Structures are given as C-alpha cells and as structure tokens.
Amino acid sequence: MKRFKSTNPAQTKELAKKMAALADAGLVITLNGDLGAGKTTFTKGVAEALGVLDRVKSPTFNILNTYDSGRLPLYHFDAYRLEESGAADQGFEDYLGTDGVTLIEWPQFMADLLPNDRLVMTFERTGNGEDERLITIKGLGKVAELEEELS
Ligand code: ADP
Ligand code: MG
C-alpha cells in the first residue's frame, strides 16, 4: 500500500495525473472516503490528464457519467444512490474493466460488480487543517504492479 499526503486540491489532482499517465484500458479504481474527502476532485484530475474536454460533474443523480473525448473513455460512477436498490440488472458490468478507465465513488454499494483486479484508493481528512488529506492506494490482483509504479 502506498500513502500520499495532499495539502490542497491541486496536489490531489497531481496524483490523479500521474495515475492517468499509467492507466490502460480496463483499469478500475474504487474511491473510498466520506463526503468532501476529495473523490470527485481526484476524478477531475484524471479527466483533465486524459484530455477530457467536458467538465466533470458529480454523477450523484444519474449514477454513471461517461466521457469519450479523452485518450481513453472515462466512466465515472457515484454509487451512493444504489444503497437501497442494489446495483444488479442495470448494465453497469458493460463499463467495468472494458475499454476505458472506470472510477467509482461509494464502491461499497456496487460491491458485487467490482472486478478482482482493481486499484483501491481511500481519501481521509487527517484533522491537520481543513485541506489536508491522507490518500492511500492499494493495487489488487493484476493491478498490483501499477501501485509500484506510482511515486
Ligand atoms: P467527494 O467527491 O469525496 O465528496 P469532492 O472532491 O467533491 O469530494 O470535494 C472535496 C472538497 O474539498 C472540494 O471542495 C475541494 O476543493 C476541497 N479540498 C480541500 N483540500 C483538498 C485536498 N487536499 N484534496 C481534495 N479536495 C480538497
Ligand atoms: Mg463526489
């Protein structure tokens, strides 16, 4: 597991840019952490680095937003609203680990659909100032190598 300290949103986006540079089609990244922890900020950094032209917005109301204008398709899930309905039978599998980079906020609400090969990220406030975050990254399965490449 790798640990990174971020002291402002730009630093979180810098980490996202490094991640995007290493990303291949099929990469799935789960983003764990409370509201306001920085999950969407990280996703915006990935989108910018992939060259996505559209502005990334939180997909809370439609669960999934897709962006096709970058180097790879970007699939951005916010599964928060699946807590009660569950994630089955909505076709989400078509996006996970296929042709794009998939980032998932609130992944615990689509746990059954997550591939074994994935990057698990956590975002936490440290209590050390309003803007400081501890970000951890753990690569599972075939993605373990990608964790090693990040610095
Ligand atoms: P989430 O998607 O986890 O709910 P957001 O990325 O939407 O979180 O919001 C994070 C908020 O915290 C933003 O307003 C952002 O500007 C702010 N922020 C402050 N410091 C940081 C940091 N180090 N990394 C990311 N966001 C930060
Ligand atoms: Mg969010």
pTM of the predicted protein model: 0.97
Strand arrangement of the beta sheet that strand 2-6 belongs to: 2-6, 133-140, 118-125, 28-32, 101-105, 74-78, 64-67
Residues lining ligand 1, judged by CB closer than 6 Å?
6-9, 11-12, 33, 35-41, 105, 123, 131, 133
Q: Residue 136: which of 148, 151, 124 has the closest Cα?
A: 124
Closest-CA residue, ligand 1 atom 9, reads 36
* Residue 13 alpha carbon to ligand 2 centre in Å: 14
Q: Give the nearest ligand 1 atom to 37 CA.
A: 3
Q: Give the nearest ligand 1 atom to 105 CA.
A: 2
50: how many CB neighbours lie within 10 A of its CB? 21
Q: What is the pLDDT along the chain (151 residues), one digit of tens a residue?
A: 999 999 999 999 999 999 999 999 999 999 999 999 999 999 999 999 999 999 999 877 789 999 999 999 999 999 999 988 899 999 999 999 899 999 999 999 999 999 999 999 999 999 999 999 999 999 999 999 999 999 8
Spatial contact of 31 and 121, defined as CB atoms under 8 Å apart: yes
* Residue 105 alpha carbon to ligand 2 centre in Å: 6
Spatial contact of 151 and 17, defined as CB atoms under 8 Å apart: no
Q: Give the nearest ligand 1 atom to 11 CA.
A: 23
Radius of gyration of the chain (CA): 14
